[in-house]
Structure 1
Amino acid sequence: MPEQIIHTHELPNGLTVVIEPMSDVQSAAFCFLIPGGSAFDPAEHGGTAAALTDWITRGAGDLDSRDLSNALDNLGVQRNESTGLNHLAFTAATLGENVPAALSLYADIIRRPQLSDEEFEGAIAGIEQSLRAIEDEPQRKLMIELRRRCYDAPWGLPTEGSLEELARITAKSVRAHYDRCLRPNGAILGIAGCVDIQEMLALVSEAFGDWGTKPDSSMVTGPRGERIGHIHHDSTQTHIGIAYDAIEYAHPDYYKAWAAVGILSGGMSARLFTEVRERRGLCYSVSASLNSLKHEGRVLCYAGTTVERAQETFDVTLRELQRLGDGIESHELERCKARAKSSLIMQQESTTSRATSIARDWHFLKRVQTLDDIRRDIDELTVSGVLDYVHQHPARDFTVLTIGPNPLKVEEA
C-alpha cells in the first residue's frame, strides 16, 4: 500500500483536525463529528438531536433551504447527515478543488444555521414517517428494542426517540439543544483525498477558529430494559434477537473479537449461515455483528424464521454461539483475514471511507490507525489467540428478544 501521511492538529478552541492526503485520487471528502448526539437528548425528549440533524441543513447563513441545496449540488457534493449517540455527523465528498467552497458552506450549516420555524415541521415530519415505518419493519424494530435492553440508557436508546417523545419536541427545545451542545471542543474533522495539508489547516482555522467553546453537556442516565422479552405481533414469522457482552473498539483484543464474530457471521461460508440456514434450513436470515461504544461492546445477533421453526432456530443459533470456544479451524480464520484485506483495499480507494475512518479513530482511540497498522494486526491473528479471546469473553448471559405470535422457551440465556 502507498505510504500514508496523517496529520493531526488541534485548534485553540479544541476542534481536532485530522488530514490524510491521498495522491492517487482527484476527489476529497470530509467528515465532521460535532458533539450533541442523541445521548444528550433531554429526558423524555428522545429524537431532539435527530430533529436538529435534519433541521440544521434547511437553510444556513444567507441561503435558504433551496439555495443551500443548490449550492452544494452545484459543487457536486455527495453528502450525508446522521445522528449518533455522541455526535451529529456530516459527511461530504466532492472534487478536491471544490473542498474549500464546500467547507465554507458547512461552516454556515454548523455555526450559522437559520433554524427557521417554516422548516421545522418538515424536519419533524421526516422523523415521524421513519418511526411509523418501524411498525412495518419487524427486523428493524427488533434490533432497536434489543439495543434498549442490552445497553444502559442513554446508550441503548434509539436516536429517533419514539412517537410519544416526538410530540413533545418543539422548535424552541431543539434550538436549546443546539445552543447547549454543539461546540468546537470535542468536535472532530477528518479530511482525506486530494488536498494540501497547510491549505486545509488555513481554511479550517479561518472558518472555525473563532468558534467559541462551551462546557461539556450532561446526559440523563438510566437502567436498561428487561433482559428476556417478547413483543406480540400477529404474523407467520418470528424474529429473534440475541445479544451478549463483547469488548470495545479501543480494546487491545478488538481484532480478535472481530475475527470471532467473523467466523460466526462473515459471509455465506460462516458458521451461522452454514449450520442454521444451509444445513438445517431453519431460517431465511441469520447474522451476528460486533457493536462497539466507546467503553463497552456487544455482539448483536438476528434470525428470521417461520413460527413453526422458531424454537429450533433459537436453540441451534444459541448452541452455535456457545460452541465457538470448542475450536476454530485455521481455514475459518484465513477466510476472515482475506475478507478484511479486501475491505482494506476498497477503503484505500474511497476518500469518504478514509475521512470517516480517521474521524472515528480519533473519537475512539485519540489516534489514527493506518491501513498498514490494521493489516499488521489482522496478519498477526492466530487461532489460539482468537480462542483465548473467546474463552475470556464467552457467549453467555444473553439478552433475548423475540417478535412474533408466540414467545419462545429461553432456558440457557
Structure 2
Amino acid sequence: MNGAVEFPLDLAELSFRAAGESLVRRSVLPSGVRILSEHVPGSRSLTIGYWVAVGSRDEQPGHFGSTHFLEHLLFKGTQKRTALDIAVAFDSVGGEHNAMTAKEYTCYYAKVQDRDLSMAVEVLTDMITSSLLDPVEFENERGVILEELAMADDDPADVANERFFEAVMGAHPLGRPIGGTRETIQAATRAAVWEHYRANYRPQDLVVTVAGAVDHDVLVAAVTRALLLAGWDLGEYAAPVARRTGRAALISQGDPVTIVRRPLEQANLLVGVPGLLAADDRRVTMSVLNSIFGGGMSSRLFQEVREKRGLAYSVYSFAPGYSDAGLFGMYAGCTPAKAGQVVELMLGELNRLAEGGVTADEMKRASGQLSGASALALEDSDTRMSRLGRSEITLGEFVDLDEALRRLALVTAEDVQELAAELVAGPISVAAVGALDDDAFTAALTAARH
C-alpha cells in the first residue's frame, strides 16, 4: 500500500493490502450500510464494532444526554433478548462487550474468538435495531447513569477536564459533557430518547467494522442476514450519511479561568489553547510536538515539572482533534500552594518551544516513540477495529502503518516550532479543581500569561 486509501461514499466495493499483509475490504450496501474488515494473518480472535456518527455534540435542546442514555439502554433488552440474555451470550464464550459514547460518534463493540463471529453479529445487530427502551428499564438506567455521573463528579481530574473543555470551546457543542449532566439526565424522557434513536440508527447511519480473524464475505453475509431478520429494508436505496464538513468552526472562548474550590490535598490543573482539526494535515506534526512536550518521561513537561522540581506526580500534554475544532492541553496534579508555579512552568515551556524550537535528539526520540507505539498498538484487534471506524466516519481515508511512518518522517523541527508558535498565540484557558487561593492563583496566572 502506497499512500492513503480514500473511502468514497459512492464506491460499492474496495479491497487492498495494508502493512503487514493484512487485507482490508470495504462494502457499501445499496441501503447505505457500510461494512469494513481487516483480516490479520495469524489471528484467532476478532473485534467487531457497530458505529453511528452521532455523539454528544449532535444533541439538540430537549435531547441533551440522549446519546449516553441510549448507549446504556441498548444493553437492556430487545424483542428477542433480555438484558441477561445479552450478557450471557458473550460471557458464555469468554467474550467482552461494551460501548462508548464520544463527542462525534457512538460505538457498540465486542471481542470474541473467530468461531463466535456469527453470535456477535446477531446480538449486536439485535441491540442496534430492536431495542425496546422499556419504560421500567429506562427509569432503572436513569439511576445508574446518575450514579455514574456522581462517580465522575467525585473525581477532581474528571471535573477539571469537563470545565477545561467548556473553557476552551465556550458555547460550541463540543464543550458540553459527553455523558450529560445531572439536570439533563433527570429531565430526559423516554419519548425524547426514542426519537433520538429512530432518527440516528438507520441503515445509512450504520458502519460495521471488524479486525482480526475475519472473512469479509462471511461477515457481509452475516450482517445482511441479521439486519433482514431485524426487519430492516435493505432493498430500499439510501446513500450513506455524509461525513462532517471538516471546516473550522468559529470558537468563542468561555471563561478563561475556572476554579472549582474543593477541600483536596491536590490541585488538578488543566491549561490549554485551541488546537487542530482531526483532518488537518498537520496532525502528525502535532503528534511530534505533543511527544516532545508532554508525551512521556523524557518530555519537557515531565522533566521540568516532576524530575527537576518534584512539583507533580502526574504531568502530561494531550491534543484531541474533532471535525471542526481541536485543542491542546496540559495537565498536572500538584499541591495547591504550588499551582501557580506549575502553571507558570507549563506556559513557560510552551513559549520556550515556540521561541527556541526543538533539538535533533528530541525529534529522533519523538519519532522512535511514535513509531514504536503505533506498531505495538496494532498488535491489538481493538485498535485496528477502531482505526477502521474512525477512517470511515471521520477521515474518509485509511492510513496504514507504513504510510503513517512515511508521514512522520516528513515532519521537520521547523514544522514543530511553527505549530508551537501558533498554539502560543491562541487564547489561554485554565481550569483548576482544589483548595486554591483564588487571588494568589489568579495573580500567578496573570504573571505567567505575560
TM-score normalized with structure 2 length: 0.85
Work out which of the residue numbers 203, 206, 212 in structure 2 matches 1:193. Answer: 212
Structure-1 residue corresponding to 2:114: 96
Question: Cα deviations across residues 45-76 of structure 1 (Å, max 9, x unaligned)?
Answer: 53221111011111124111111211122233
Question: Cα deviations across residues 209-241 of structure 1 (Å, max 9, x unaligned)?
Answer: 635769979xxx996632222222233432221
Work out which of the residue numbers 161, 171, 189 in structure 2 matches 1:170. Answer: 189
Name the SS of the counterpart of 1:322 in structure 2.
helix
Is 1:10 aligned to residue 40 of structure 2? no
Structure-2 residue corresponding to 1:273: 302
Is 1:376 aligned to residue 406 of structure 2? yes
The structural deviation recorded for 1:392 is 4.2
Cα distance in 2 for residues equivalent to 1:243 and 1:393:
9
1:143-292 to 2 correspondences below 5 Å: 143-151=161-169, 152-208=171-227, 210=233, 225-292=254-321
Name the SS of the counterpart of 2:324 in structure 1.
coil
| Segment drifting more, 56-65 vs 398-407 | 398-407
Name the SS of the counterpart of 2:313 in structure 1.
strand
Structure-1 residue corresponding to 2:396: 366
Structure-1 residue corresponding to 2:146: 128
Question: Cα deviations across residues 225-273 of structure 1 (Å, max 9, x unaligned)?
Answer: 3222222223343222112122122111111011101111121110001
Are the equivalent residues in 2 in contact too, given 1:29–1:93 (CA < 8 A)?
yes
Structure-1 residue corresponding to 2:40: 22
| Segment drifting more, 179-188 vs 102-111 | 179-188
Question: What one-letter code is carried by the residue in structure 1 that aligns with 2:177?
Answer: P
Cα distance in 2 for residues equivalent to 1:368 and 1:77:
28
Unaligned runs of 5+ in 2: 1-18, 243-249
Cα distance in 2 for residues equivalent to 1:155 and 1:364:
15
Is 1:315 aligned to residue 344 of structure 2? yes
Is 1:328 aligned to residue 358 of structure 2? yes
Name the SS of the counterpart of 2:36 in structure 1.
strand
Work out which of the residue numbers 77, 96, 115 in structure 2 matches 1:78. Answer: 96
Question: What one-letter code is carried by the residue in structure 2 that aligns with 1:139?
Answer: A
Work out which of the residue numbers 346, 357, 360 in structure 1 matches 2:387. Answer: 357
Cα distance in 1 for residues equivalent to 2:318 and 2:251:
25
Cα distance in 2 for residues equivalent to 1:321 and 1:222:
22
Name the SS of the counterpart of 1:283 in structure 2.
coil
Name the SS of the counterpart of 2:260 in structure 1.
strand
Structure 1 residues 234, 395: closer, same or farther in 2, change over 3 A? farther
Structure 1 residues 380, 207: closer, same or farther in 2, change over 3 A? same
Cα distance in 1 for residues equivalent to 2:51 and 2:176:
20
The structural deviation recorded for 1:9 is 1.7
Identity, in percent, stands at: 24
Question: How many residue pairs align between the two structures?
Answer: 411
Question: What one-letter code is carried by the residue in structure 2 that aligns with 1:228?
Answer: V
Are the equivalent residues in 2 in contact too, given 1:45–1:161 (CA < 8 A)?
no
The structural deviation recorded for 1:103 is 0.5
Cα distance in 1 for residues equivalent to 2:125 and 2:432:
44
Name the SS of the counterpart of 1:294 in structure 2.
coil
Cα distance in 1 for residues equivalent to 2:97 and 2:251:
34
Structure 1 residues 357, 315: closer, same or farther in 2, change over 3 A? same
TM-score normalized with structure 1 length: 0.93
Cα distance in 2 for residues equivalent to 1:163 and 1:391:
39
Unaligned runs of 5+ in 1: none
